[in-house]
Amino acid sequence: MPAGGSPEAPLAILCGAGAFPLAVAEEVRRTGRPVFLIGILGSSDPAIEHHPHAWARLGQFGRLVELARGAGARDIVFVGALSRPAGWLELRPDRRLLMLVPRLLRALRGGDDHLLRAVVGAVAEHGLQVRGVHEVAPGLMLPAGPLGQRTALDTDTADAVLGFRVLAAMSPFDVGQGAVIANGRVVAVEAAEGTDAMLVRVAELRASGRLRLPARAGVFVKAAKAGQDLRMDTPAIGPKTVESARAAGLAGIAYAAGDVMAVDAERMIASADAAGLFIQGYERERA
Amino acid sequence: MPAGGSPEAPLAILCGAGAFPLAVAEEVRRTGRPVFLIGILGSSDPAIEHHPHAWARLGQFGRLVELARGAGARDIVFVGALSRPAGWLELRPDRRLLMLVPRLLRALRGGDDHLLRAVVGAVAEHGLQVRGVHEVAPGLMLPAGPLGQRTALDTDTADAVLGFRVLAAMSPFDVGQGAVIANGRVVAVEAAEGTDAMLVRVAELRASGRLRLPARAGVFVKAAKAGQDLRMDTPAIGPKTVESARAAGLAGIAYAAGDVMAVDAERMIASADAAGLFIQGYERERA
């Protein structure tokens, strides 16, 4: 069986927030495979209704798997941010999800990766294989090399390599898909705040004078965690990342080739070119 | 010679910003050793004038060492934050500092620790030994165990131990004296923004609902970098740290015993007791 599962059957896409689910749906359709989108009420972009779809609450685990199976899907991808509920009650869990609670609670103590693995296992028991974006839409994964007109300078590459080392060191702690390095100095490390908040922080540190750097210095570095299950949490960059990196005064964006997907790569690259930023992929052995 | 150098001669204290230099001066005097404070114009607390003192600009390297030597000092401590100048010109370097520029520029690329080691070396060539707070005022270094009424729960200690592991992993990158861990999850890692900004970030993430935690959850973890030269950059906590940790909704503060100094320990502990936070030191083998 190919990496993407059963290509004749529709692919179910559980749609978190943001534009990524639609980008994946369109890329999968482009490869000739039908899709069935499951929107999360209050989270997903209403534009998912341009595709075959249904809506559910995140807590309706039984309904989610029945919708996917009912549409004939044997594979499912989870795309986009699914916000952590404040508690089980807010999630309004259905019976099937309630049965999973002890297992998920145990997994939660181990961090996001453990939780995600527990969810993958529970979904598989209902006859659905969880696939990764890199399997069903490999065309969205970004390659090695510069994407736009700019190329990283040697000093930028030195910062990028240091950044990949920082991210690798943070990997055992289930954190750290992003960092900002400038002139050999680790300026920011991403944890619960997410990429955009981290880049806003760098912009503010520069604006306040607490972080003194020449103009256009520093690299935003993005990679999957070592051993990260790409099926559940594909690192992604897009036009918004470029805008945040530009606002933070950075020279560019470095990513681990094959690990990171782009949403609207064309617009992202055009924005980077217009802003004079590089976006460059590094091979995993380097990254 | 004892660890603190020549105890009969006055100790020179180069005073960065904040209350730490005065706390060190008072503790050193309490031990019977005279002090000579060198204030940095625009940075140091004017209250240093209660002690024998002189003022200089940070760029007046020659004047700094002459003032210290002229006061009879053979040992010097650097205490409090010295802000990185935007460039050499803003520093208005004197001739002696200009001579050091190539050496410091080389060191700068290696991060703060390298820069600090270069400064220690340069100062030593002018007959002054750079000492650490832990050497000249060991009474300020915080011990193992709980400082106030509250004691860390087992879950807090688990978070603390995870935090010390995160800090150790970040140590090779010359970053990471602080992190926030909550329920086994790495919530924030400190880099250029500093402790207070990191704790404000955690408060904001909770207030916005992006970080969902029970009330009073999470531990701020503070340690020296592995192999950090304590002579130049002693990690410190104080009443402000307690206030920031309280505002971030944390359960308490965990630190590596012997690595971290307190300013105004009495007021810090009273604040923690009033807020219901623990402040607890962990032995290095555990931390």
Residue in A83, A87, A187 closest to B191 by CB: A187
User: At B221, is the pLDDT very low, low, confident or very high (cuts 50, 70, 90)?
Assistant: very high
Lookup: tokens for B257: 């015993």
Domain C-terminal end among B136, B164, B197: B136
Nearest to B104 by CA among B79, B131, B123, B90: B123
Tell me which residue has tokens 């935007």. Answer: B86
Q: What is the mean pLDDT of residues B182-208?
A: 94
- Are residues B176 and B71 both part of a single domain? no
Separation between Cα atoms, residue B77 and residue B75, nearest integer Å? 7
In a domain, A65, yes or no: yes
Q: How many CA atoms lie within 13 A of B159 on its CB side?
A: 29
Q: Cα dihedral angle (A198, A203, A205, A210), rounded to 10 degrees?
A: 150
| Domain housing A218 | 141-282
Q: What is the mean pLDDT of residues B112-139?
A: 83
Q: Is the model's pLDDT at A89 over the cut of 80?
A: no
Residues of A in contact with B86 (CB under 8 A): 209, 212
- Are residues B24 and B42 both part of a single domain? yes
**Phi, psi dihedral angles at A47 (to 5 degrees):** -65, -10
- Are residues A109 and A147 both part of a single domain? no
Q: What is the mean pLDDT of residues B40-53?
A: 92
Is B111 close to A174, i.e. CB distance below 8 A? no
* Closest CA in chain A for residue B175: A186
- Are residues B18 and B68 both part of a single domain? yes
Domain C-terminal end among B111, B136, B161: B136
Nearest to B173 by CA among A222, A226, A162, A253: A162
**How many other CB atoms sit within 10 Å of the CB of residue A265?**
19
**pLDDT score for A239:** 93
Separation between Cα atoms, residue A173 and residue A283, nearest integer Å? 23
- Are residues A145 and A277 both part of a single domain? yes
What is the number of structural domains in chain B? 2
Task: Answer whether A201 touches B (CB < 8 Å).
Answer: yes
Q: Are B248 and B151 in contact (CB under 8 A)?
A: no
Residue B107 CB partners (closer than 8 Å, separation 6+): B114, B115, B117, B118
Which CATH number characterizes residue B91's domain?
A: 3.40.50.20
In a domain, B5, yes or no: no
Task: Answer whether B176 touches A (CB < 8 Å).
Answer: yes
Task: Answer whether B2 touches A (CB < 8 Å).
Answer: no
Question: What is the DSSP secondary-structure string of B101-159?
Answer: HHHHHHHHTT-HHHHHHHHHHHHHTTT-EEE-HHHH-GGGB--SEESSS----HHHHHH
**pLDDT score for B228:** 63
Domain C-terminal end among A136, A152, A176: A136
> What is the interface pTM, i.e. ipTM, of the complex?
0.79
Q: Which of A225-234, B79-88, B129-138 has the highest mean pLDDT?
A: B129-138
**pLDDT score for A83:** 64
**pLDDT score for B83:** 64
- Are residues A165 and A213 both part of a single domain? yes
Residues of A in contact with B194 (CB under 8 A): 210
Chain A residues 91-110 with a CB less than 8 Å from chain B: 108-110
Closest approach of A89 to chain B, Cα-based (Å): 13
Q: Is the model's pLDDT at B42 over the cut of 90?
A: no
User: At B58, is the pLDDT very low, low, confident or very high (cuts 50, 70, 90)?
Assistant: confident
In a domain, A241, yes or no: yes
**Phi, psi dihedral angles at A41 (to 5 degrees):** -55, 130
- Are residues A131 and A145 both part of a single domain? no
Which CATH number characterizes residue B195's domain?
A: 3.40.140.80
In a domain, B48, yes or no: yes
**pLDDT score for B263:** 79
Q: Are A45 and A15 in contact (CB under 8 A)?
A: yes
Separation between Cα atoms, residue A182 and residue B85, nearest integer Å? 16
**What are B20-34's pLDDT values in tens digits?**
899 999 999 999 999
Separation between Cα atoms, residue B57 and residue A41, nearest integer Å? 60
Q: Which of A193-202, A228-237, B256-265 has the lowest mean pLDDT?
A: A228-237
